[in-house]
A and B are shown apart, each in its own frame.
Chain A
Amino acid sequence: MAYVMLEKVGKTYGRHEVISDFSITIKDGECLTFLGPSGCGKTVILRLIAGFEHPTAGEIYIGDRLVSSVEKNVHVPPEARKIGVVFQDYAVWPHKTVYENVIYPMQMQRIAAGDAKGRTLAAIGQVGLGELQDRLPFQLSGGQQQRVALARALISKPDIMLLDEPLCNLDANLREEMRFEITALQKQTGVTILYVTHDQEVALAISDRIAVMDKTGRIRQVGPPDDIYEKPADPFIFKFMGVSNFIPLEYRDGQIFIGESDSPLGCPVPEGSLERIKKRELIAGCRSYDIELTHKESQTRGTIRRVIYLGATVDYLVAVGKKVFRVQQDIREAGQGGIPFQDGDQVGLEFLDLKWFENQAIDEEVE
């Protein structure tokens, strides 16, 4: 096990700069996720750590070992880095059986046949494929192939496991199951994991820390999942982590109004923020479930524009003046007042929890 450190790493393809001046440390034994939209360079970083690509600037350490350095002209080839990689397309070798796939790293390390066999069978058992060791990959389901890939990556006890969106080709149920299994395997083995994904749910579920990246390949925030979700550093992260509403604010006649409407905001603002709201330097954000809809009289009124029944929740679009909010109501809550709201209903809005951001660049694309 070992920590991984990237120091001012840069990578350019021709004239295209994918990442630059990129520094981060993955701690020993933690599961760190690079979360970001497609094309943000997260996979490139994984490939740089694996040694499949050479950085064009900076240094990479795995443990105390310098594995890549442009200045010192060091490039340790992938096979000498003690890594395990699980690819998005599994990369299970189609001409080898499950057993042959998993034992391959042992053979490369010239581990004595008996020992290797025992460890291979144990690894296959660990991922729950004990019965299937003589099957060829085309006889396995996607999830089973993914387990083969996991077993193969884990067997040689790597310093770090690199997982490149390994769950995104699986269906929803399987994805959930594998998510738990990866967490369980990490607890068992204590291996350091670098996980790359664009799926915030997976990231929240498995990570010790998440590093959110934006389109330009920069890290916007690093922290534990609850920090990222509850205390997003900027609107981009807030937007990226789930369904979000942004509320522009206007101050007139001694009251705070929702931008471009006649409805007052109707909930307290943090201490000392009023001056900044007056100058339009702040903007509020809330999740779809942070807005409560009521039949009661309320200062803030809106019109239901669209109702979608989703089973556990009901999803509304509510117009307040020219501003449209997305609101989700728990099905039980929606049912309490009789029936859920209908298209065209007048409703009262209450904001339960507002997050405050600098008023800038909320239009930044997250996908």
Chain B
Amino acid sequence: MMIKKHFGNFGLAEILLAISVLILVIVVAIPVLLILWTALFVDGKFNTADILNILSQPATYEALKNSFIIAAGVTFFSTVVGVFFAWLVSRTDLPFKETMKVLFLIPFMLPTLIGALAWKMLLSPRAGYINKFINDLFGLDGSFFNIYSLSGIIAVETMYLFPFVFIQVTGALERMDPTLEESARISGAGLLTITRKITLPLMLPSIAAGALLVALYSLAHFGVPAILGTEAGIYNIPTKIYEQIYQSGGSFTAIRTGTVLSTILIISAALILYIQSLVLKAGRFQVIAGKSMRPMLLKLRGLKLPLLMFSILYLSITVIMPTVTIFLVGALKTYGINFTWENMSFTNLKYILFEWKMTKDAIWNSIYLSLSAAFVTMIVGVLISYTIVKMKVRGKFILEFLGVLPFSLPGTVIAIGVILMWSGKFGVNLYNTAWIIFVAYIARYMAFSLKSNSAALEQVSDSLEEAARACGATHWQSLKDIVIPLVKPGMVAAFFLIFLPAMRELTTSVLLYGPKTRTIGVAIYALNEDGETVYAATLASVALIIIIIGQLIIKRITQSKIQGVQ
């Protein structure tokens, strides 16, 4: 007789819960608590004087102001651009709509760091190609547009962040129940009135969701302000934290200033996410039907071609021109000379790929750090998501809370958190090793993995697993034979959702790298700082090629998924 004693409360469920909580506490919770502790307490005493002192310094105050101005500007323009193009591809008779829909996602794949680098080459006040070209053309001596400015930073971030809004809004527009608009039309409303009074209000939750994602991202973004701002003395919170820590050689005072600024980021991010959850809750009336539909399309008539040309032009300027610039400059023998065949070669490429140790190391570091972080985060993500979605255990809410937390943590905050946690204070010193970046990546991308895996797991009905148990499979066997095969697409998606952004990561690794552990992002940034513009562009080209290959693989995988099991 096979009677298994159910001893105490220690089943598989409890073990999984314990492991999941442990991982999230170590990787996420403790670092955040350390930041708050360090920011608010000095020698174990609550310390407001110090915080006020830090915040009242003109430099930090200035950085805070810039961060919020940039975030507000980028959010505003991204929303306008994103909603406009979303409406254009889903609610008008624009030609080649399906193709355009895909093309508008490309700016998303272009790393903001590389975009900023390209725009620096094009529009820096003196040496920018466009500025020079216009000066030559009209015999001017000033500069047509100075990219080293707040408006330059806002413009470049908008170019690459608007797809957040675009994706949300096109998705919602496509799923919106057409009868809502049809009934308004039957009641005698014109298309303009319908758009203003029915469609737009119904889309508001999706628009807001996209806009808040942009705000969250922009508020704590390092790359663009670092490349375009520092030269003109414009700092935002992440670049200020970096500058302080970098200049002081990692002194505790600088890190403490970092924690205070991080606390502000955490609070702002929490606020943004809170607003988002309110908006999403308010928008949960049934406007979105699951069925496919044929919405009313606005006839563009004479504007058809001009609007198509405008869209193509927009993409050419924001995507093709910068990409081409990067590849061309990357092949130049020296920066500033003309783009002629004689001036171009593969020498740079050969040099950074095979000869120069610094860049070789950076590429290698980025590849193995991204691969291993993506792999570990994917596995741990499945484990935690499974516990959250499928397990009936007490104390699950802790996990749910900790699982959402990483969504709201900007890269800079995570970096400061892992510095506090892993620089020897608790017996483990990972500072200046690749491990500290590895740990930071796991914390930073855990949210992606949880989101992707939870979505996949929610599709797997509980009865599928129970059917396996009834067939004689143990819990582990049912996981291995039924659950894992069914969530594999979600796991693969999670892997690439982590691998690709990790490949181009800068915000976190720039605070954590040591002499031997530069990543591609750090190396591009450092080369640019040192005036090695050409090598920065060559390395950026390599990064772009890796990203393009990665995207192609994702496309293959998602397509084969459609052909296989639904």
Contacts and interface: CB of A to CB of B under 8 A. Distances in A.
Interface of A: 50-52, 54, 65-66, 73-80, 83-85, 87-89, 91-95, 104-105, 108-109, 136, 138, 149, 152-153, 156, 162
Given A50-B470, A93-B482, A74 B464 contact: no
Contacts of B481: 104
A95 B4 contact: no
Contacts of B464: 91, 93-94
Given A89-B461, A95-B485, A156-B471, A77 B4 contact: yes
Contacts of B466: 50, 52, 78, 85, 87, 91
A340 B274 CA distance: 66
A85 B566 CA distance: 24
B463 A89 contact: yes
A83 B463 CA distance: 15
Interface stretch (B80-88, B112-120, B321-329, B472-480): B472-480
B1 A65 contact: yes
Contact of B4 (A76, A94, A149, A153): A76
14 contacts: A54-B6, A74-B3, A76-B2, A77-B475, A79-B477, A88-B463, A91-B463, A93-B467, A94-B566, A104-B481, A108-B472, A108-B473, A109-B472, A149-B467
Contacts of A162: 470
Interface string B135-173: 000000000000000000000000000000000000000
Nearest to B2: A80
B461 A79 contact: no
B4 A152 contact: no
B486 interface: yes
B294 interface: no
Contacts of A75: 4, 6
A270 B468 CA distance: 56
Nearest to A81: B470
Contacts of A74: 3, 5-6
Contacts of A78: 466, 469-470
Most buried by B among A65, A74, A77, A78: A78
Contacts of B468: 93, 104
Contact of B470 (A65, A85, A95, A136): A85
Secondary structure of the A contact surface, majority rule: mixed
Contacts of B474: 77, 79
Given A91-B466, A95-B485, 14 more contacts: A51-B469, A52-B466, A76-B3, A77-B475, A78-B469, A79-B469, A79-B474, A80-B472, A83-B470, A91-B464, A93-B482, A94-B565, A104-B471, A152-B467
A304 to B, nearest CB: 40
Contacts of B467: 85, 87, 91-93, 149, 152
A79 B472 contact: yes
Contacts of A95: 485-486, 565
A105 B472 CA distance: 6
Nearest to A138: B566
Nearest to B468: A104
A88 B466 CA distance: 12
Contacts of A88: 463
B489 to A, nearest CB: 10
B565 A138 contact: yes
Contact of A152 (B2, B6, B471): B471
Contacts of B469: 51-52, 77-79
A233 B449 CA distance: 57
Nearest to B461: A89
Contacts of B473: 79, 104, 108
B483 to A, nearest CB: 10
Nearest to A90: B463
B6 A108 contact: no
Contacts of B566: 94, 138
A146 to B, nearest CB: 13
Contacts of A76: 2-4
Contacts of B7: 73
Contacts of A108: 471-473, 477
A6 B463 CA distance: 23
Contacts of A80: 2, 4, 472
A98 to B, nearest CB: 14
A75 B565 CA distance: 36
Contacts of B3: 65-66, 74, 76
B6 A73 contact: yes
Most buried by A among B4, B467, B468, B471: B471
A89 B566 CA distance: 16
B372 to A, nearest CB: 28
List the 5 closest pairs (A to B, CB-CB), nearest first: A108-B472, A91-B463, A75-B6, A85-B470, A105-B471
A312 B345 CA distance: 89
Nearest to A77: B4
Contacts of B6: 54, 73-75
A153 B472 CA distance: 10
A143 B125 CA distance: 72
Contacts of A79: 469-474, 477
B463 A136 contact: no
A76 B473 CA distance: 13
Nearest to A66: B3
A94 B561 CA distance: 13
Nearest to B477: A108
Contacts of B482: 93
Given A95-B485, A136-B565, A138-B565, A84 B5 contact: no
A91 B470 CA distance: 11
A136 B471 CA distance: 19
A26 B474 CA distance: 26
A95 B484 CA distance: 11
A38 B233 CA distance: 69
A92 B464 CA distance: 7
A213 B450 CA distance: 42
A109 B470 CA distance: 12
Interface in B432-474: 461, 463-464, 466-474
A111 to B, nearest CB: 10
B298 to A, nearest CB: 37
A153 B466 CA distance: 12
Most buried by A among B461, B467, B469, B482: B467
B125 to A, nearest CB: 59
Contacts of B4: 75-77, 80
B20 to A, nearest CB: 22
A175 B482 CA distance: 28
B176 to A, nearest CB: 28
A75 B5 CA distance: 6
A136 to B, nearest CB: 7
A152 B485 CA distance: 19
A156 to B, nearest CB: 7
Contacts of A85: 466-467, 470
B480 to A, nearest CB: 12
Nearest to A51: B469
Contacts of A91: 461, 463-464, 466-467
A94 B483 CA distance: 11
